[in-house]
Structure 1
Amino acid sequence: MDFKRLLIEYAASMDLYIDFEAAERLEEYKALLIEWNEKMNLTAITDEKEIIIKHFLDSLSALKYMELLPFSKSVDIGTGAGFPGIPLKILRPDAEFTLLDSLNKRVNFLNTVIDKLSLKNIEAVHMRAEEGASKKEYRESFDYCFSRAVASLSVLSEYCLPYVKKGGSFVSYKGPDTKEEIASSQNALKILGGKIKKEKKVQLPQSDIIHSLIFIEKISHTPAKYPRKPGVIKEKPII
């Protein structure tokens, strides 16, 4: 299998441009993902073609609908094995990234990827989302927040919007059916200072998978009491 050729070809079918250097870095990232996955559980997706489609191109799909400007600051909340943060960083090397995850083993993997791929202006941080949001260096200091984490939109917004500066955006990667979730999150978004700007459906190539991207604009400051403690956020989401 010609990994780079398929990656570039499938990306082009989504109107995404990946140059050869970025494709080489993504291929090296794939190799590290597969190697480390034998030692620890990073992903259930190990087929190379599926990694291209379900991890890399899904992560990069946001670039179809937004521009990551040079020197902009982004945070990836609950990044796991580095999705979507590392693919986005590889395609936008001038942008700054912070990858946040609560499991130190995953952060060790991310640091290895950052080192092996010689990525600059990117850091992997071992921290819970609600802890980072209370720190001065992180709170409302990012232009963009990304998350592919699995949680309801109201819960994710409480974790993520405190990181975003006024005028910035939170991009939530979701499944195909978001109507009820969006409706039930309206009050939470209002309280947390966010407003849905747009939603885009993404058809992943060579598959019948349709995902949604929800773009939430930060229109006012998040009150200091948010985010609450993790147990409270999940058990009593803002309604």
Structure 2
Amino acid sequence: MHGIELLEKGIHELNLEISENQKKQFEEYYELLIKKNEVMNLTAITDLDEVMIKHFLDSLLLSSVTDMNKYETVIDVGTGAGFPGIPLKIMFPHLKVTLLDSLKKRLLFLDEVINELGLDNISTIHGRAEDYGKDKEYREKYDLCVSRAVANLSSLSEYCIPFVKLSGKFISYKSELSDKEINEAGKAIDLLGGNINNKTIVSLPCSDIKRIFVTIEKKKNTPSNFPRKAGVPSKKPIK
């Protein structure tokens, strides 16, 4: 079993249904990703089956820890090549998605993907999470914030929690997570208005990979002095 059949099998394992049009969109996304990857560094994973599992299915794995139909507005912070934002948009077309990244070239690629796949209610924004998190147009405006970005949970929480509405959620994708990292992030999460709802370990379909999701619920408004200036959250995580 290869390619789109593998994706279809994994999607069924997640108790989701995929249409012919959605399959076509995933195939087109893969082709655009590989073509653009020849001229700019978008991903180290290029094998068809590996992209289907480690990027597409991994992005959709979120649906095993939260009901995606409960959300309307989603922001993907540090989206990179569009993961998890674009696969989530393909699979759950009702979502209004914002893709945030600091590299303009990546976003130009994502604009091309959005256009080619005929996706609507999805937009890209160029800049730093620390700046947009202060912008009243984006601050505390989203039902859900997601991120596959590699950063410690304390820094990631400072990037992401300011975007979340009260009672909304920030869900972080982690490949590994120590109790120490969670404990160290506890103060930051509380300070930013969040509360750790749960930590869930999930098996990625069609693989032996484990994924950890940390679900943080927004309990109170983020104080106006957060996020701090660009670069500070990663250099000096809240402790």
TM-score bucket (shorter structure): over 0.9
1:63 aligns with 2:60: no
Partner residue in 2 for 1:17: 17
Amino acid aligned to 1:34 = I
Partner residue in 2 for 1:123: 123
Q: Distance in 2 between matches of 1:206 and 1:217?
A: 30
CA contact (8 A) 2:71 2:95 kept: yes
Q: The residue matched to 1:69 in structure 2 has which SS?
A: helix
Bigger mean CA offset, 25-34 vs 204-213: 204-213
Q: Distance in 2 between matches of 1:51 and 1:142?
A: 28
TM-score in terms of structure 1 length: 0.96
Q: Distance in 1 between matches of 2:186 and 2:139?
A: 22
CA contact (8 A) 2:140 2:166 kept: yes
Bigger mean CA offset, 221-230 vs 13-22: 13-22
Partner residue in 2 for 1:92: 92
Where does 1:106-121 land on structure 2 (aligned, <5 Å)?
106-121=106-121
1:133 aligns with 2:133: yes
Distance change (3 Å), C-alpha of 1:17 and 1:198: farther
Partner residue in 2 for 1:144: 144
Q: Distance in 1 between matches of 2:56 and 2:88?
A: 9
Distance change (3 Å), C-alpha of 1:176 and 1:15: farther
1:36 aligns with 2:36: yes
1:201 aligns with 2:201: yes
Aligned-pair CA distance for 1:119: 0.3
Q: The residue matched to 2:169 in structure 1 has which SS?
A: strand
- Number of residue-to-residue matches in the alignment: 239
Q: The residue matched to 2:33 in structure 1 has which SS?
A: helix
Deviations 1:57-93 (A, max 9, x none): 1100011121223771110000000000000000111
Runs of 4 or more consecutive aligned structure 1 residues displaced over 4 Å after TM superposition: none
Partner residue in 1 for 2:184: 184
Q: Distance in 2 between matches of 1:13 and 1:144?
A: 24
Q: For structure 1, list consecutive stretches of 5 or more residues without a partner in the other structure.
A: none
Amino acid aligned to 1:32 = L
CA contact (8 A) 2:197 2:215 kept: yes
Q: The residue matched to 2:212 in structure 1 has which SS?
A: strand
Q: For structure 2, list consecutive stretches of 5 or more residues without a partner in the other structure.
A: none
Q: Distance in 2 between matches of 1:177 and 1:132?
A: 27
TM-score in terms of structure 2 length: 0.96
Q: The residue matched to 2:231 in structure 1 has which SS?
A: helix
Bigger mean CA offset, 66-75 vs 90-99: 66-75
Partner residue in 2 for 1:73: 73
1:154 aligns with 2:154: yes
CA contact (8 A) 1:16 1:64 kept: no
Deviations 1:89-125 (A, max 9, x none): 0011111000000000000000000000010000011
